[in-house]
């Protein structure tokens, strides 16, 4: 990346990748939240016909982020599969792509409310949460504050206005003590940054960091938040923007 944006969370430095993943250089750990494999096929079962290629688009984006960062460890923060049967709906090509992603890295699969029992054939560890150094990785943000918590589940989004045009973008949210990642899945919806479910997680100021095409942008959160630096170095239903990004085979 040419313009990495980094923030400190409980004393640990995390790089916010433009893909929506978080990169922890000190631990060579890459973190994805809310991948939601096979959400498209789940909706199709209920009569909502969407382009059925969301899983392969998500796998491609994951592969690009993994190639860019070369992690030794990969953590998936739960809801990696959209429902209990989603893993069985992966085709042979998608299973092979997922297997390729697992080569050369230790995988940690956090259980989520959509996938409380991820399939054992995934390999790696399947756990409800895991603490690594100063950070605690789990799916849902805890009701009671725990310093260093890194979670997903809420799919935070914000609206950014540029040149008179409003764009809805996924975003990271953090106050320097805990962080919520954006959903990574192609069809994952989003919860507005102003929703009380997000605001209630933070006692004071917090920052919001919106995903752009090639970089992450600090945008308005709440109050004055300064625990970030940029280093020059290398809704439930999917919306129209998400659908437009899903590739045909």
Mean pLDDT confidence for 103-118: 94
Token pair for residue 109?
């699969």
Mean pLDDT confidence for 167-181: 95
pLDDT computed for residue 231 by the predictor: 54
Residue 209 to residue 224: CA distance in whole angstroms: 14
What value, to the nearest 5°, has the Cα angle with vertex 207 and ends 60 and 130?
60
pLDDT computed for residue 199 by the predictor: 92
Identify which of 158, 188, 150 has the alpha carbon closest to the alpha carbon of residue 7. 150
pLDDT computed for residue 242 by the predictor: 46
pLDDT at residue 143 tops 90: no
Confidence band, pLDDT 50/70/90 cuts, at residue 188: confident
- Is the distance from CB of 127 to CB of 66 less than 8 angstroms? no
Mean pLDDT confidence for 211-234: 73
Token pair for residue 67?
């190639």
DSSP state of 152: -
- Is the distance from CB of 168 to CB of 212 less than 8 angstroms? no
Q: Is the dihedral of CA 203, 207, 211, 214 positive or negative?
A: negative
pLDDT one-digit tens code per residue, 21-66: 999 999 999 999 999 998 888 877 777 677 778 999 999 999 999 9
- Residue 161 has a CB neighbour count (10 Å cut-off) of 9
Domain ranges of the chain: 4-245
* Sheet strand arrangement including 12-16: 125-127, 106-110, 73-76, 29-32, 22-24, 12-16, 4-9, 228-231
Residue 103: Cβ-neighbour burial (10 angstroms; 0-12, 13-18, 19+): exposed
pLDDT at residue 149 tops 50: yes
């Amino acid at each position: 990346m040419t313009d990495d944006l980094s923030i400190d969370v409980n004393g640990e430095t995390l790089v916010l990748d433009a893909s929506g993943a978080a990169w922890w250089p000190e631990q060579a750990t890459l973190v994805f939240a809310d991948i939601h494999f096979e959400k498209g096929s789940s909706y199709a079962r209920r009569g909502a016909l969407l382009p059925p290629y969301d899983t392969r688009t998500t796998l491609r984006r994951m592969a690009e982020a993994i190639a860019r960062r070369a992690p030794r460890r990969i953590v998936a923060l739960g809801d990696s599969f959209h429902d209990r049967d989603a893993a069985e709906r992966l085709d042979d090509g998608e299973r092979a792509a997922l297997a390729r992603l697992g080569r050369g890295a230790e995988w940690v699969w956090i259980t989520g409310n959509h996938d409380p029992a991820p399939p054992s054939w995934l390999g790696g560890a399947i756990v409800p949460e895991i603490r690594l150094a100063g950070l605690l990785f789990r799916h849902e943000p805890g009701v009671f504050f725990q310093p260093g918590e890194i979670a997903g589940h809420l799919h935070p989004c914000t609206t950014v206005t540029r040149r008179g045009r409003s764009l809805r973008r996924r975003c990271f949210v953090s106050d320097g003590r805990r962080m919520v990642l954006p959903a990574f899945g192609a069809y994952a919806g989003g919860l507005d940054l102003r929703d009380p479910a997000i605001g209630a997680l933070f006692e004071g100021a917090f920052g919001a960091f919106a995903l752009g095409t090639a970089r992450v942008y600090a945008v308005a959160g709440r109050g004055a938040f300064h625990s970030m630096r940029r280093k020059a170095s290398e809704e439930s239903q999917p919306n129209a923007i998400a659908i437009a990004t899903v590739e045909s085979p």
